[in-house]
Structure 1
């Protein structure tokens, strides 16, 4: 190298940073709704950074057979795809699902509606929705005095959480037929007594509440208007206040 040549550039040696240690964590293989009975295909192992581990996660090194052992459990709440599976959000096969999701001090009560959706917001009420319960019954006293069929509707419970919805199926002429729908509600003991009596002396309907109204205290709601009577005369209905 002659005296006038510049020195060669320094050699740059790339050193890769060591990989962060990871641990296999049991996660949801896809989105899982509340109440789903888990199958092995619903779960998978995923590498998780050790510095992001939480004591509630299920790891392969602690529970090698967790994927097989977790199958058969029921989800207490929904999981996102890739979300770690935590035992606190599962119901074991030997435990009751409804009892597990029912808040302390509450009672689960099932009510029956018809199968056409007219008593359940067109069939669009789903678990975890909030509803008002409306009782409809025949006013015997007014029916006798007016000579007409007088029906009364009144809201007996407000802002009630729906735990589950289902169908009543009966066998008729060798065929399974849907004869009604059920909705299981989370109620206080006093509400449970009230709705049980109401179902004996009338029919019950559910009115779906807006998410914006859910959880509002009773005093924040508008004052109810006077109860209205629906008078049926010669096949024509009309509203009148008491």
Structure 2
């Protein structure tokens, strides 16, 4: 009986050895794994933290970050091309905000060279001009910096009809689709607020528009009409190309309603 067990054990061990040999032989004949392609990368200068509109950029606001070379735009600042970029950009003013991790792009920065903030962020050829507003003439305070507005002039004129007892009230859009630079002295939205009740608004205008607005302030009351964000890219209406329209309003004078036709 013991001899039989020894024979069975010997056969089992032999079969195990043959199986192990065959297995090792098949592994040696397996094809080698394919080499993994190396992803090409490049170091790009990015914002280390959020950089707000008008903020002066410091070295602590920037850092180099590894990006896939195929995803790095030509407008990005690369360490291989400009290793001293952090020193060159330090002191610049952000014309547009950056979020943390966003690549630094020089079109969104400007060197002030001692000039004030507003002069630094104004595009070339544009002017900043302010005018008074109130909750009634400023869309109830819902106009914020970087919104676009139409400027409406409302003026009163004596009715040429001697039989009419009311004055002519003439509204006219004198500027269309202009950008708001600041409300009072706030050039950006604060703490996520959705309304700002201010006394003055600063607009971004062309020189001719600025002169037209200055004259209009003496002619009547100015109001701002907030434009939809979907209309911002519409073509601006030039001052000399304004079409005139006819409408009717009710002018109340001495307690008497006078329907009056007006022309724009």
- TM-score normalized by the length of structure 1: 0.69
1:85 CA drift (Å) = 0.7
Looking at structure 1, the residues matched to 70 and 201 of structure 2 have their Cα atoms a distance apart, in angstroms, of 47
2:210 maps to 1:207: no
Q: Which residue of 1 aligns with 2:192?
A: none
Q: Is 1:112 equivalent to 2:128 in the alignment?
A: no
CA deviations over 1:110-162 (Å, ceiling 9, x no partner): 1313243x2222223234433211012332x239966667643222222x221
| Structure-1 residue corresponding to 2:47 | 28
Matched residue, 2:181: 164
Q: 1:91 aligns with which of 105, 110, 125?
A: 110
**How much does 1:199 deviate?**
1.2
Residues 177-200 of structure 1 deviation map (CA, whole Å, 9 limit, x = unaligned): x9712221223x433332221012
SS in 2 for 1:195: helix
| 1:241 equivalenced with 2:258 (yes/no) | no
Equivalent pair of 1:119/1:206 in contact (CA under 8 Å): yes
Larger radius of gyration: 2
| Match for residue 144 of structure 2 among 110, 126, 151 | 126
Counterparts of 1:61-100 in structure 2, within 5 Å, are 63-64=82-83, 66-67=85-86, 69-94=88-113, 98=118
Counterpart in the other structure of 2:246: 226
In 1: Cα distance, 2:185 partner to 2:67 partner: 45
SS of 2:23's partner is coil
Alpha-carbon distance change, 185 to 80 in structure 1, aligned in 2, over 3 angstroms: same
Give me the whole-angstrom Cα distance separating, in 1, the residues matched to 2:166 and 2:228: 36
- Separation in 2 of the partners of 1:143 and 1:39? 64
Unaligned segments of structure 2, at least 5 residues: 1-16, 187-196
Matches within 5 A, 1:51-62: 51-60=70-79
Please give the per-residue CA displacement for 1:19-50, whole angstroms capped at 9, x wherever unaligned: 54544321123454544433444333211234
Aligned residue-pair number: 227
In 1, the alpha carbon distance for the partners of 2:185 and 2:98 equals 29
Greater helix share, structure number: 2
- TM-score after normalising by structure 2: 0.64
Deviates more, 1:118-127 or 1:195-204: 118-127
Return 5+ residue gaps in structure 1 as ranges. Answer: 170-177
**Structure number with higher strand proportion:** 1
How far off is 1:64 after superposition?
A: 4.8
> Which residue of structure 1 aligns with residue 212 of structure 2?
194
SS of corresponding position for 1:6? helix
